[in-house]
């Protein structure tokens, strides 16, 4: 008989709710499912009731797999409670950035580096949403001809910043349309809406995701660089990024420019991607066919279109890559990692959990 597992989901925000949905849709072998957040209450997902309990270290007793989708940072769920779960014998799969760059923690995208789950010591990190869809699309090309350089501009949906950001977008739109009579020519400046994002998002966009860091790149932009290097095991790839928040509910899009090591034709790239796991090519300019965020919401694949050569650089190629940031960009990738852990039977591992310390990246 197939073994079933005791699973804890931490967080019931944008990602946590999708996690519950993905576990059910994929018929994950669940023995007991516990849902934890900052406060207890009942929630409904697709008509299904889930009792949410207040998070406490003891709630991780008997837990075998803990899927973390709480907030990041010093006082966030993962830094505080992931070591508690590991100490009690669970494998933690964390959606946040706290452990991603720790050399002792694998950072895994199952289509790219599944073998990395084998060396986990209790915690496995899920990459950032914008990194996941980029590496899924580029890995098959990298394997065939190598990639020297990546220049990426992202167009990231509100839900990428959590349920509060979606609420901000909706309230801003409501505030603009509640002018009576509506004056299309009037200022679109919104006042009086609580902001979790650094700027107004309705009828706007801004190149500012995460705080500004080294060399005036944002942390979101650095994630695309450093996480890609770690996942692909190649820190020689020259990567630079501009990340932009756009007034879309869910679905991140990316305009990706690459320079390959060896020449490859557009037709060959299309064929390779069509035959690669987790990718759907949607590329027919004559019929105006290319992937759109509104069409990928709720879908599992990474969609690729607008594959074309750079007219001036012979090994330069452009791709337009779109995926549901809450599914492949977060919840689905995390559940796929849990499935890999089970498949590899490395749910139990050799470590000294009692001595586990919070990593310093
Ligand atoms: N949104 C995306 O597209 C995306 C993609 C990749 C990765 N991520 C990462 O996934 C994580 C969750 O993101 P989200 O978008 O789902 O955020 P969210 O919508 O803001 O939801 C956060 C959830 O975490 C819970 N939480 C916060 N602090 C907690 C704590 N100390 N202990 C227990 N639970 C806690 C909250 O509990 P209450 O409901 O009780 O307040 C809430 O349910 C973040 O680390 C984020 O960076 C998000």
The torsion region of residue 21 among left (phi > 0), alpha (psi -120 to 50) and beta comes to alpha
**Centre of ligand 1 from the C-alpha of residue 360, in Å:** 21
Instruction: Please write the tens of the pLDDT for every residue from 306-332.
Output: 999 999 999 999 999 999 999 999 999
Ligand 1 atom index nearest CA of 38:
40
Q: Among 3.30.360.10, 3.40.50.11900, 2.60.120.10, 3.30.1490.190, what is the CATH number of 131-325?
A: 3.30.360.10
Q: Please, which pLDDT band fits residue 349 given cuts at 50, 70 and 90?
A: low
**Centre of ligand 1 from the C-alpha of residue 330, in Å:** 11
8, 21, 37, best to mutate for ligand 1 pocket (most atoms within 8 Å of CB): 37
The torsion region of residue 185 among left (phi > 0), alpha (psi -120 to 50) and beta comes to alpha
Instruction: Please write the tens of the pLDDT for every residue from 230-263.
Output: 999 999 999 999 999 999 999 999 999 999 999 9
Q: Please, which pLDDT band fits residue 185 given cuts at 50, 70 and 90?
A: confident
Nearest CA to ligand 1 atom 4: 160
**Centre of ligand 1 from the C-alpha of residue 14, in Å:** 7
Ligand 1 atom index nearest CA of 55:
33
Per-domain boundaries in the chain: 5-126+330-355, 131-325
Which is more confidently placed, 2 or 203?
203
Whose CA is closest to 170, among 205, 204, 202, 208?
A: 202
Name the residue with tokens 């007034």.
247
* 3-class secondary-structure state, position 351: coil
Nearest CA to ligand 1 atom 35: 70
What is the average pLDDT across 42-69?
A: 97
Superfamily of domain 5-126+330-355: NAD(P)-binding Rossmann-like Domain (3.40.50.720)
Specify the pairing of strand 65-68 against strand 91-94: parallel
Q: Please, which pLDDT band fits residue 357 given cuts at 50, 70 and 90?
A: very low
Catalytic residues: 129, 252
Ligand 1-lining residues (CB < 6 angstroms) = 10-16, 37-39, 55, 69-72, 76-77, 80, 95-96, 128-129, 159-160, 162-164, 325-326, 329-330
d(CA 133, CA 303): 9
Packing angle between helix 14-25 and helix 332-343, nearest 10 degrees? 50
> Phi and psi dihedrals of 195, rounded to 5?
-105, 130
């Amino acid at each position: 008989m197939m073994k079933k597992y005791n699973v804890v989901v931490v967080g019931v925000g944008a990602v946590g709710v999708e996690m519950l949905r993905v576990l059910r849709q994929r018929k994950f072998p669940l023995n007991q499912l516990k849902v934890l957040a900052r406060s207890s209450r009942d929630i409904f997902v697709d008509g299904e009731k889930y009792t949410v309990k207040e998070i406490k270290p003891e709630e991780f007793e008997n837990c075998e797999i803990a899927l973390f989708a709480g907030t990041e940072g010093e006082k966030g769920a993962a830094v505080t409670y992931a070591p508690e779960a590991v100490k009690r014998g669970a494998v933690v799969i964390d959606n946040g950035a706290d452990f991603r760059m720790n050399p002792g923690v694998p950072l895994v995208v199952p289509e790219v580096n599944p073998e990395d789950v084998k060396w986990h010591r209790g915690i496995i990190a899920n990459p950032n949403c914008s990194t996941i869809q980029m590496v899924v699309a580029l890995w098959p090309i990298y394997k065939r001809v190598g990639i020297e350089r990546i220049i990426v501009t992202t167009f990231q949906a509100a839900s990428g910043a959590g349920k509060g950001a979606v609420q901000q977008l909706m309230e801003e739109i409501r505030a603009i349309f509640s002018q009576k009579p509506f004056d299309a020519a009037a200022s679109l400046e919104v006042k009086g809406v609580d902001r979790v994002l650094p700027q107004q998002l309705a009828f706007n966009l801004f190149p500012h995701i995460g705080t500004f860091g080294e060399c005036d790149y944002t942390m979101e932009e650095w994630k695309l660089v450093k996480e890609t290097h770690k996942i692909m095991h190649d820190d020689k790839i020259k990567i630079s990024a501009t990340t932009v928040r756009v007034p879309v509910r869910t679905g991140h899009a990316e305009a990706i420019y690459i320079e390959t090591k060896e020449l490859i034709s557009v037709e060959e790239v299309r064929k390779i991607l069509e035959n690669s796991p987790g990718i759907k090519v949607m590329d027919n300019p004559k019929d105006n066919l290319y992937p759109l965020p509104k069409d990928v919401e709720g879908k599992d694949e990474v969609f690729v279109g607008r594959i074309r050569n750079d007219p001036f650089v012979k090994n330069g190629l452009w791709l337009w890559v779109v995926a549901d940031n809450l599914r492949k960009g977060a919840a689905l990738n995390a559940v796929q990692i849990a499935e890999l852990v089970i498949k590899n039977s490395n749910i139990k591992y050799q470590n000294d959990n009692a001595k586990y310390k919070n990593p310093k990246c």
